[in-house]
Amino acid sequence: MNIEEIKKQLTDNHNDFIKIISSLSEKEFMFSVNDKWTAGQQLHHIVLSVSPLTKIFFLPSFMIKLIFGKANRTSKDYDSLIKKYLIKIDQGGKATKRFVPPTVEYMGREKLISQLTALIKKLVNQLEGFSEKQLDDLILPHPLLGKLTVREMFMFSVYHVQHHQKITLRNLEAKQ
């Protein structure tokens, strides 16, 4: 994925997720299957996941390189990255404590949606500051996948929201 494709997919995928969350009744928003995350917690998890990226990307690229290092390999393609993530999940990988959402009440939904909308706009704007080369040269730590190039981190964010959207929809189907 190039920068323009990433920007479009980040925006589209998060907007799709927000539309689904916005359409839920209070019962649907608060519904949990086998003590798994509710739709509200899925939303909060995505906010918790995107927020640190917007903070890191406020740093100039030379600082990111200084703090986290430089890639010693080429970026994986989207499908390979997602395959690696799904293998980690199948092996029991879970969100680390920092990314585990608390209970989310229905009345907090709009605030979280506003936060996510603002974070995605900020992330897309920050992406403008990178060259295609920098996306492949700079690395960042991911709690489950290890060191990722910046391109991989953005591609992961594109997929991550879809992953949690699917879980949310699957849980709601179980409610039927």
CATH (residue range 3-175): 1.20.120.450
70 CB neighbour count, 10 Å cutoff:
11
Q: Is residue 56 within 8 Å of residue 140, measured between CB atoms?
A: yes
Are the CB atoms for 159 and 10 separated by under 8 Å? Answer: no
- Global pTM value: 0.95
pLDDT at 34: 83
Tokens describing residue 90: 């199948």
Q: How far apart are CA 29 and CA 103, in angstroms?
A: 11
pLDDT tens-digit readout, 11-69: 999 999 999 999 999 999 999 988 899 999 999 999 999 999 999 998 888 999 999 99
What pLDDT shows up at residue 124? 96
- Token pair of 131, please? 């060259």
pLDDT for the residue 131: 93
- pLDDT for 129 equals 87
Q: Which residues make Cβ contacts (< 8 Å) with residue 79, sequence separation at least 6?
A: none
46 φ, ψ (degrees, to nearest 5): -65, -40
Please tell me the predicted confidence (pLDDT) of residue 176: 66
The secondary structure of residue 98, as a DSSP letter, is G
CA angle 28, 32, 34 (to 5 degrees): 150
Q: What's the average model confidence in pLDDT over 158-171?
A: 96
pLDDT digits (tens, 9 = 90+) for 74-123: 999 999 999 999 999 999 999 999 999 999 999 999 999 999 999 999 99
The structure tokens listed for 29 are 């928003």
Helix (H) or strand (E) holding 16: helix 3-23
Sequence spans of domains, the chain: 3-175
